[in-house]
């Protein structure tokens, strides 16, 4: 884990999730009791409907790596918030806050994403009814 991601890791604290952040399929797919907070480098980006996905490789202290599939909001909703297909790029080291899937897979619903330039991208996945 790079110095940058460690700093990001330390800087991010948990805040209470607003009741507005509710989604129809959220609890059918994700577990609100399994919050996850990690940073790593982006290996792939899928800027597509109905949800954007990007894939993050996280280096662990034991030199092993873990790979996460991270679900974000609808590209159309994100586009109207002025985010675009260049907002997340392969090779970016970024921090993700989200929730793990119930089925035990390494799938994460992202609540916020901290980009390398310090800006925060609200993934919007759980709030907006995009599908």
Partner 1 sequence: MPRLSLPWSPSSRWSRIQIAGWILFAASAAVLLTRNLRQPPAPPPEAESRKSAPSQHSVGAWWFTGAPAPAGEPADLTGVWFGEPIADLSKAALPGQEMVLTPFGKQRYETVDHSKNPTGQCLPPGPVRIMLMMLPMMIVQRSDIVLFLSEYQRTYRMIYTDGRGHDPDVKDYPEWMGSSVGHWEKDTLVVDTVAINDRSWLDVWGHEHSDQLHLTERFRLVDPDTLEQLATFEDPVFFVKPFTIRKVMTRQIGDRILDSACLENEKDQKNLVPTFGAEGRGR
The footprint of partner 1 (CB under 8 A) covers: 17, 19, 21-29, 32, 46, 48-53, 69, 71, 74-77, 79-80, 82-84, 86-87, 101-103, 105, 107, 115, 117, 119, 128-131
Closer to partner 1 by Cβ: residue 63 or 82: 82
CB of 63 to partner 1, least distance (A): 29
- β-bridge mates for residue 56, sequence order: 42, 68
Closer to partner 1 by Cβ: residue 23 or 39: 23
Is there a contact between 61 and 121 (Cβ–Cβ < 8 Å)? no
- β-bridge mates for residue 113, sequence order: 96, 121
């Amino acid at each position: 884990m790079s110095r940058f991601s460690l700093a990001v890791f330390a800087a991010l604290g948990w805040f209470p999730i607003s009741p507005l952040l509710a989604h129809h399929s959220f609890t059918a797919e994700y577990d609100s009791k399994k919050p996850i907070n990690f940073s790593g480098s982006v290996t792939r980006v899928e800027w597509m409907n109905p949800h954007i996905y990007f894939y993050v490789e996280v280096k662990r202290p034991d030199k092993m790596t873990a790979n996460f599939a991270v679900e974000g909001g609808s590209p159309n909703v994100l586009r109207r918030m002025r985010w675009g297909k260049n907002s997340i790029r392969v090779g970016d080291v970024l921090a993700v806050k989200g929730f793990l899937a119930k089925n035990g897979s390494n799938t994460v619903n992202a609540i916020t994403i901290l980009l390398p330039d310090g800006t925060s991208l609200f993934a919007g996945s759980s709030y907006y009814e995009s599908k």
